[in-house]
């Protein structure tokens, strides 16, 4: 896989998600769950998930689109696999609050520069 400097790729495979879930460090906020692990590569991969019982497809995709729009604002360090999971309260939360929580999660975990 070819990745350029400071590029963020998608974490897509189920096996990769399971590996990060099983071995990663977890950090929880009121609306989000962040799980991360080293991947020994020169690029970072981010996966976003929302559980089916949190609402219909429209609501889940809205949450995922919001999180995807915040990711480019964060300067993520290289060599990490990251999963962001939206919690049940997220569909009722304002965008600014989600943005502040995600930025603070990344900074407290040491995942942003």
* DSSP-based three-state secondary structure for 47: strand
Look over the chain and give the mean of its residue pLDDT values, rounded to a whole number.
87
41 has pLDDT over 80: yes
Any residues with CB less than 8 A from the CB of 36 and at least 6 apart, and which? Answer: 20, 24, 25, 27, 80, 81, 82, 83, 109, 111
> Percentage of the chain with pLDDT > 90?
44
- Mean pLDDT for the stretch of residues 57-73: 90
> What mean pLDDT do residues 69-91 have?
89
Q: What is the pTM of this model?
A: 0.87
- Map out the domains of the chain with their CATH numbers: 8-104 (3.30.230.10)
Q: What is the mean pLDDT of residues 60-86?
A: 90
Checking if the pLDDT of 5 tops 80, the result is: no
Q: Give residue for tokens 């071995």.
A: 23
- Give the angle 17-44-59 at the CA atoms, nearest 5°: 55
């Amino acid at each position: 896989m070819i990745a350029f400097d400071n590029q963020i790729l998608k974490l897509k495979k189920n096996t990769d998600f399971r590996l990060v879930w099983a071995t990663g460090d977890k950090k929880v906020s009121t609306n989000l769950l962040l799980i991360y692990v080293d991947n020994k590569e020169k690029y970072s991969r981010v996966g976003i998930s929302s559980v089916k019982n949190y609402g219909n497809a429209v609501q889940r995709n809205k949450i995922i689109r919001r999180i995807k729009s915040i990711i480019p604002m964060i300067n993520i360090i290289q060599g990490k696999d990251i999963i962001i999971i939206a919690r049940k309260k997220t569909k009722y939360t304002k965008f600014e609050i989600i943005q502040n929580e995600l930025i603070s999660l990344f900074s407290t975990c040491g995942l942003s520069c």
